[in-house]
Structures are given as structure tokens and as C-alpha cells.
Amino acid sequence: MNGEQLVNLTINGRARAVRATPATTLLTVLRDELMLTGAKRGCNQGVCGACTVLVDDQPVRGCLSLATNLAGRAITTIEGLGQGRELAPLQRALLERGAVQCGFCISGVLISAFALLRQNPTPNVDETRAALSGNLCRCSGYIKIVEAVCGVGEEVRS
């Protein structure tokens, strides 16, 4: 209905054909069609950042991205960051440094931080604060999140 069409996306390395209308967002496709619920809907307005996913290595808002525009693009969600039960260093750092509280923001934070570290493996505090400024967290006060992300960089350095 409403001009629904099949769109071919690559999600976490796997080719997926999804149904979408021109108005269907990537977030809706991920959450409601593919049941990849790691990306969260916190505001549906592109402000909170809880729905952040990677599109060709760039962090984007799932709630502001239209699925039909993403044909052929590679999309990475939080479900695609780790290797089975093995946590990625960034996931481990957030966990071990006590940066995770309610967890609702954390998949978006992880994606933004992952993109930062790929571009800049040893970010300083200012660079990290700038890169995460689009991810709202109401629990942590951000201090331990920034420490954890910088800590991954320090591990790389040493």
C-alpha cells in the first residue's frame, strides 16, 4: 500500500530486501520489519541520537533517513558491532568503566563513538565530546562515557 516497494539494503554485512514506502524511515525498517531493535526511538526528530546507525561508515539518524534512499548502501547497527559473544573494545570499555546506566542511549553512543574511533583512533577529550554531542544521555552525566571512549584510544596508543 501507499507505493510500497522492495529496497535492497546491506545490513550488518548481509543483503536484505525490505518493504518500504517513500515515507518509511530506516529506523522503522530496522525495528519493525527486521526486528533489529538495538537502535532506539527516543524522539523521532533527529535530536536525541538514540537511533544512530552507520551508513557507509558515517553515523546517521535512523529516524531521519528514508529507507528508499539507501538502496545498495551498507548499514551497520549495534547488533553488527561485536563478533558473536566477543565484545568490541569500545563495548568492553563502556561496560568496564561504568558508563552504561539505563542503556537506552547507549547503542547510539556506541555507533557515534565507533565512527569517531575509525576516523581518529586516539581522540582527546575535546574531540570525543564534540563527536558525541549529538547523543543525549540523561543518566550518566557523560563523564564516564567520554572516559571510556578516550580510554579505547589510550589502549591503541600503548
- Smallest distance from other proteins to CB 121, Å: 19
In the complex, least distance from residue 139 CB atom to other proteins, rounded to whole angstroms: 5
The Cα 62–Cα 39 span in angstroms is: 8
Half-sphere exposure in the Cβ direction for 3 (13 Å, CA): 5
Nearer to other proteins, 72 or 138 (CB): 138
In whole angstroms, the minimum distance from the beta carbon of 6 to other proteins comes to 19
Q: What is the phi-psi region of residue 27: left when phi exceeds 0, alpha when psi lies from -120 to 50, beta otherwise?
A: alpha
Residues that bind other proteins (CB under 8 A): 31, 35-45, 47-48, 50, 77-79, 81-82, 87, 91, 94-107, 110, 125, 128-130, 132-146
Q: Which is nearer to other proteins, 73 or 108 (CB)?
A: 108
In terms of CB distance, is 26 or 146 closer to other proteins? 146
The conformational region for residue 44 under phi > 0 = left, psi -120 to 50 = alpha, else beta, is left
CB of 93 to other proteins, least distance (A): 9
Round to whole Å and give the CA distance between 52 and 134.
9
3-class SS of residue 22: coil
Q: Which residue, 22 or 72, is less far from other proteins as judged by CB?
A: 22
